Structure formats: C-alpha cells, structure tokens
Structure 1
Amino acid sequence: MACSAVVQDQSSHVRSISLPSRSHPFALRVEEELHKLRTCVVSSSLTSQEMCNGLRRLRDLYDCTEELVRLPYNQQALCHPHQKEWLEQELDGSIKVLDLCGTLREKLVTMREHVQDLQLALRRRDTSTESKLHAYIRSGKQAQKDIKNCFRSWKQISNKSSSSTAVDKDSDSSIVVRLLMEEREITISLLRFISSFFSVSRPKAKASRWSLVSKALQKRKVASEDKHKETSDMGNEDFSLYVSVSYDCISCKDVDDEKVLKAQDQLETLKAKMEDLETELECLYRRLIQNRVSLLNIPSL
C-alpha cells in the first residue's frame, strides 16, 4: 500500500517532523487514503474480496494516522485544554468500535463452525442435516441482533460527540481531530457492509434436508438484497458463489455423490470467505487497540 510506503520512508521526512499538520506528508497521505476509502464505502455493494481489501487499506490508514498523532507538534497541539473533551469522547468511541469489530469477528467464527457442522452432516447424509441448517440460521439471526445493538451503542456515542464537539478548520490540532473523526466514520461504514454477511432467513415451506440447504442460502441472498439500502449486500457476483445447487439438482428423490459434492463446494466457498474476513477483522482489531493506546499516551490524559 502507498500508505505503508510513507510509514517506511519516515526517516526521509525527519526535517519536517515539527511542521504543522496541514503541511506534513502524513496528513496529506491520510487525506488521500480517506478519499479512496470513501469511494469504496459509497458503492451500492461490495464483494467479500472488496471488503477484505477495504479492511487492509483501513489498517494502513490507521498506521498513518498513528504516526500523525505521534508527531511532537501534534502531541503538543492535542494537549491543549480545548481538545480534552474531544479526546475523552474519542476514547469512548474507540471502545465502541473495538466492541463492534470484535463482535463481527466472533459471530463470523460461530457461523463458520455451523457451516462446518452442516458440511459434515451433508457428507454423512444423515438426519441431522436439517437441524444443523436451522442452527446455522439461528446463529445468523442472533448475530444480527447483537451487531445491531453494537451499532446502536456506537450511534449514541457518535451523536453525543457530534453535538458537543466543534471543529475549528483553521486550527492545526483540529485538522488532526477532523481526520481521526472521518477515519472513525469510514471504519463504521465498512463494518456496516460486513454486517450484511449475517442476513439469514429461515425457509418458510417445509422441504427436504437437501433442498433446505439450497433454499436457506437463496433466502440469505434475498434478505441481503432487501437490506441493500440500509447495510448493503456483498454483491450479486459474490453471493452467487454462496447459493447451493438448486432444488432440481438436490432433492430427496434424486441425491447422488456428485450433487452432494456441489453443495459441499458451495459451503466450502462460503467458509473460506468467512475465514478471510475473520483474519482481516482480527488484524484491524489489533490496529484499533494500538490507535487507542496512542490516544491514551497523549500527555493531557
């Protein structure tokens, strides 16, 4: 990432280390990376690969802003009494973002485990297939509730911060404040996209344990498309990989090894994408902790 290169070339900017934020390369790079991420999160949909790429870019952005906060000039500026309220609110907000990121990852782990159980039941072709599927669906519904609570908690902090924090655009310290606030909003927007992964619906009609797999995954796609305006889905191109073989392909009357294998492949694809997102969320979680530590180390606190 270009941003990483800036961090690596920090030594080449030693002479400018005490310059105001607006003229420092880190501030310019943060602005540039924020612009790229804004373009990403305003899309109508994102594939899981695009989400992973966005999370990696977001990590690089946090690396840059951490370097920006550590600059002696900014440390001094952020120690000013009029920034103390913002720092306290930012620390409160950082806890909520950490909670949201951690919850998303934990729920992905749980759902991936249910996918593995479903794969095993399909492989054995036993009577537990339907119960495993419903366990997966229940897990998704519970995840949605927990994640919604995290977003609600974040919203309360965000509203409080917006109403009480005035950003002076001409102040160098406030330039840093503004960049960090925008970074946090971009983070929430990207995590909101990822939350669409948990849109799972229970099939209404009674069906065989084989067709239930296909129906649940199809319902999952439709549910995400219905929530498109609120949280956006992961893109039709990507979701097509999660839809298991059709009802005509798998049924109680006509099940063979080839058709079961197709269903297994679809579930394996879903599991792999979950694992990728888990990894990126874990890396982001660590960056968020580092960012919080940097804020706590500001002398005014």
Structure 2
Amino acid sequence: MAVSYHVRSCSLPARLQPHGLNQIQQLLNKVPTDKNNSLSLLSELYDSVSNLFNDSPSSLLLPHQSFFTHLLDLSLVHLDLCSKLRDITCRIKDCLRDLRSAFRRRRHGGDSTIRCHVKAFIRSRKSVHKDLAKLLLLLKQVNHSSSGSSHPLITLLRQVCSQTCYSFRTVLLSLSTVVPKPRPSRWTLVTKLVIKNVTSTSVQVQTGHRNEFQIMDEELRRFCSAKEIKKERIKCVITNLEKVDVAVEDLEESLESLYRRMIQARVSLLNILSLHI
C-alpha cells in the first residue's frame, strides 16, 4: 500500500511588504515631532521593525548580510545604552524618594538636617551628570555607516538606528542639564536681576523650555542658599520633587518597554540570519 506524504510549504513571502515599510516610514516621520512621546513611538517603531523582519524573505536579506551583521553589533550598543540609561533613571528615582522622605520627616530634624539631605541629593546629581556625560560621549562614537546600498529596507533601518541615538541623546540632555550657579553676592541687586534674566533666557533657548529637572535643580540651589527656610519655599520644593518623581517613573517605564522591544527586534533578525549559517 502506497503511503502519501503531504508536505506543507513554509516559504517566506517573495518580497518585502509595502505596508510594513510604510508603517516604519510614518513612525520615523512622527518621532522627531513628538518629543513628549518619543520613547513610546520608538517602541512602536521597533515593533514594526520586528514584524517586518518576521515577514521579510530571507533571500532579500542575504545579499546584504554584512550590513545585517553590523546591525546586530549595533543593536548590542543600543541595548547597552538603554540599559545604562534605565539604571541611571532608577538611581535618580531612589535619590528622589529619599529626599522626599526627608522632607516628610523634617519636623523631627529641623532646618539643618533637611539642608544636609538636600546637599547630599545635589551631590548625587553631580555623580549622575558624570555618568550621563560618559553616555553622551559613547553616543558620539556610534558608527551607523556600513553599507552604501540604496535598498529601501536598509535605508529605513539606518534611519531607525539614527533616530534611536537621537532619542537617547534627547533623554540624556534632559536629565543632565544643570541650571548655572548664581553670581557671587557682591554683585548689586540690579546686576543680579539682569544676569538672572539672561541665564534663564539662554536655558530656554537651548532646550525650548525648562523641564522638571531644571526647575528642580534651580529650586534646590535656592533652598540651600536661603538664610531662612520658609514654609512657602518648602511647599514649592516638595511640589517640584513630586513632578520630577512622576516624570522619572514614566521615563523608567518607557525605557523598560523600549528595551524589551529592541531585544525582540534583535531576536527576529537573528532568527532570519540563523537559517543560512
């Protein structure tokens, strides 16, 4: 008796899906214009890249294997940056909550105690700034150019890599921007006001607006230099700390989500390339 076998074809699509390419291009156009949600959009972008890898024929990727090998190496750099940025964000969150706790316990310690806690927090910020500066330097050293191909997929993936670094740089700068220290007290009141206005304007020109971290740094410096700590100033500091805490929490969640999706995209690419190793 003859036995018949039914073989099911598992071949990939014969060409790239235009919908996937268009979706990536639309997200690439959208990310730079929406800075408040850039990391969330970047996560969507990596989702689309992962889906495109899963739907792409390996025969189209193989002629550009050197580029995709470079892309795998580059993805490790991006993952490392994201991981370190996530760790720094976690450190900021822990220091913030320690300081907020100190303000809640203020009535048991007095003004001198709370000043010590604020100064300790400022020192921790300086340590964070050094680590952020190292990551900014690492970003400058990232090399995206590895292929002169005009293939639409490769062109888009190069743009994704560039946008990833740009988004990381934006986050790093927002975390590391420090409001300049005020001039020495020997300056006259009028001169101080002029310098303050110039400094405030320059910061806003560089960043577009003062973010929560800039406002917090400025308020804490004023708090430490004040001769008398008034209730109004304490309320202002506490309010700023709460806003920064919320911003840091959102940032940490966004980085965690992005990290998972970057890994998923890397795995999708590895699965395709492993079929032909």
Give the TM-score range, shorter chain.
Answer: 0.7 to 0.9
Aligned residues: CA RMSD: 3.3
Q: Which amino acid aligns with 2:117?
A: K
SS at match of 1:79: helix
Are the aligned partners of 2:132 and 2:172 in contact in 1 as well (CA < 8 Å)?
Answer: yes
**Among residues 112, 129, 153, which one is paired with 2:114 in the alignment?**
129
Aligned to 1:96: 77
1:166 is the counterpart of 2:148:
yes
Aligned to 1:293: 267
How do 1:56-71 and structure 2 match up within 5 A? 56-71=40-55
1:263 is the counterpart of 2:258:
no
Please report the TM-score for the alignment, with normalisation by the length of structure 1. 0.69
Larger radius of gyration: 2
Are the aligned partners of 1:147 and 1:195 in contact in 2 as well (CA < 8 Å)?
Answer: yes
Are the aligned partners of 1:56 and 1:280 in contact in 2 as well (CA < 8 Å)?
Answer: yes
1:87 is the counterpart of 2:72:
no
Q: Alpha-carbon deviation of 1:262?
A: 2.7
1:225 is the counterpart of 2:199:
no
Q: Alpha-carbon deviation of 1:66?
A: 0.8
Aligned to 2:96: 115
1:144/1:226 CA distance change after superposition, 3 Å: farther
**Among residues 87, 92, 112, which one is paired with 1:106 in the alignment?**
87
Distance 1:300 1:142 in 2: 47
1:188/1:110 CA distance change after superposition, 3 Å: same
Q: Which amino acid aligns with 1:192?
A: R
Distance 2:254 2:201 in 1: 25
Percentage of identical aligned residues: 27
Mind listing any 5+ residue stretches in structure 2 that lack a counterpart? 1-11, 186-195
Aligned to 2:178: 200
1:253 is the counterpart of 2:228:
yes
Q: Alpha-carbon deviation of 1:200?
A: 3.4
1:134/1:94 CA distance change after superposition, 3 Å: farther
- Equivalences, count: 245
SS at match of 1:297: helix
User: Larger relative contact order (C-alpha < 8 A, sep ≥ 6)?
Assistant: 2
1:205/1:90 CA distance change after superposition, 3 Å: same
Aligned to 1:215: none
Please report the TM-score for the alignment, with normalisation by the length of structure 2. 0.75
Between stretches 273-282 and 289-298, larger displacement belongs to 289-298
Aligned to 1:37: 31
1:25 is the counterpart of 2:19:
yes
Q: Which amino acid aligns with 2:148?
A: A
